[in-house]
Amino acid sequence: MTAATGKRLGKTLVQAGLITDDQMEEALAEAGDRSLATALVDKGFADDVAIARAVADQLGLTFVDLGIYEIDPNCATLLSIDLAHRYKVIPISLKGDELVVAMSDPANIFAIDDVRIVTGYEVRPVVATEKDLMATIDKFGAMRQDVGDLVEDLQEAVGSSDVDEDDDPDADDAEAPVAKLMNVIIGEAVRENAGDIYIEPQEKDMRIRYRVDGVCHEVVRSPKKLHRQLISRIKIASAMDIAEKRVPQDGRFGVMIHGSSVDFRVAVVPTVQGELCVMRLLRKDAILMSLADLGFLKEPMDALVGALEKPYGAILVTGPTGSGKSTTLYAAINETNEPTTNLITVEDPVEYRLEGLSQVQVNPKAGLTFASALRSILRQDPDTVMIGEIRDKETGTIAIEAALTGHLVLSTLHTNDAPSALTRLTEMGIEPFLSASALEVVVAQRLARRLCKECKEPYTPEAEALDRVGFPYEEGDIPQLFRAKGCKVCNDIGYKGRMGIHEVLVMDECLERLAVESASSEELQAAAIANGMTTLKQYGFAKVLRGDTSIEEILRVVV
């Protein structure tokens, strides 16, 4: 920190009334290599957020909380790590021809000039805390540095730009740069607890993204010519045909990372820019969860456990792709998987391989469909049958009939809410009187991000805002809620981990009668609510009241 920079900031804070002249002089005298802001915070004279807000107010600029701001990764990587550290700046977005740059000292005209020259954009400064800036710079710099070094090595290994991209790297060379690049991508995904890895060819480069807690974010971009090399390596690991680039392929492979076994389900699809590869991470510890670990409230949990204790009937879990239906089914299996029972599953694909039960992988090319597998399974005298998904009339009919003839059937269905499962089965061609008699419980599910316990911020919302979203509260008694803030623990996102939001419909005589009469899903929902069913939105708001998540997150996943 230069003396001039510290004095300038100090005078700004004194003018704002945040500190006194004596406190400024004392902090400047003891700052040493630290910035004045850090010295003031360490001595307890001011809070870092208050300092940043005061600077923003005095200069007529905007304060930005980097913990919750959605930073554009393409902008964040425009500056070198050294330059970003030197000036404590990071570009966060592009607004037209202006680059929005977060700074701790926006009065530093030398920093603004250098950023303008390096990036070629006009700079619009905004103010952020020094702590958040350094954490964000480190976050975007670490992965870029590792992958950047490997990309350089890989470029040397595969040669100059005139190399034939169809040539494949040596599959036996475990130390090849392409293998190292793949290991870094996989290792970082496991470290960040990602659910999916996307390797996407673009027009001029290759983009790598992770889906963390249900939200995608870009990790790095690399030269387009490295795309074929990386895809070939992944195909070799997944036992795919590396010469076939015209049709979709599926495969899987497993690795040991930090003593834990992680399986990857790989899907490669040809696009106009090249082959898109998506790798889903399947952690074995995820399917060892119990129903209690999934975030069920007491009454819905009791209803589901009661249905699982019955020797017959059908239990359906509904929701969109990626809503955790399979995890809930496996948790239910863990409740029923006893040495005294015969449990068989039919899946496409078999994501997790478990001990103590028989798992069947469907193979349509060989004639092994859900329906044909189910017919054979029912001759094996199973106590419990899990069907990966009811997709057609034939599978649904066999499943419903099995539930009516002394088997406990667990399966999934794609509907938006629980009551719609009954109308969906009818639309498939299954007689409504059969499905109404067989169904015991329908669980509609979403996954919502959980607020980071280390940094979630309490606040009192405005009554108008609560009324607008339909949040329940007593008039004159507005509850204290929590919102995302961001810290090092959650990588400045404000959320860490996910939990289930559930809508549990328990079949009764009223609902059975309505289903037989072919009532609409709206009529079924009204009847279920009258009988005490908690809707997805109500369930989510209950989690907000408990401080587990935010209103914004519930509205994102439910509405």
The string of pLDDT tens digits covering residues 410-441 is: 999 988 899 999 999 999 999 999 999 999 99
pLDDT tens for each residue of 507-538: 999 999 999 998 898 999 999 999 889 999 99
Residue identified by tokens 């009258």 is: 530
pLDDT at 141: 67
- The pTM (predicted TM-score) of the whole model is 0.63
pLDDT at 169: 43
123 versus 78: the higher-pLDDT residue is 123
pLDDT tens for each residue of 159-197: 443 334 444 444 444 346 677 778 888 888 887 788 899
CB 499 within 8 A of CB 440: no
Mean pLDDT, all residues of the chain: 83
For CA atoms 531, 535, 540, 541, the dihedral sign is negative
142 pLDDT tier (thresholds 50, 70, 90)? low
287 versus 252: the higher-pLDDT residue is 252
CA dist., res. 289 & res. 291, Å (int): 7
For CA atoms 483, 488, 491, 496, the dihedral sign is negative
CA dist., res. 501 & res. 535, Å (int): 9
CA dist., res. 387 & res. 109, Å (int): 64
pLDDT at 58: 81
145 pLDDT tier (thresholds 50, 70, 90)? low
Average pLDDT over residues 307-321: 90
CA dist., res. 508 & res. 529, Å (int): 12
Give the whole-number percent of the chain exceeding pLDDT 90.
25
Q: In this model, does residue 76 exceed pLDDT 90? A: no
Q: Which helix (H) or strand (E) holds 374?
A: helix 370-377
pLDDT at 158: 45
pLDDT at 392: 87
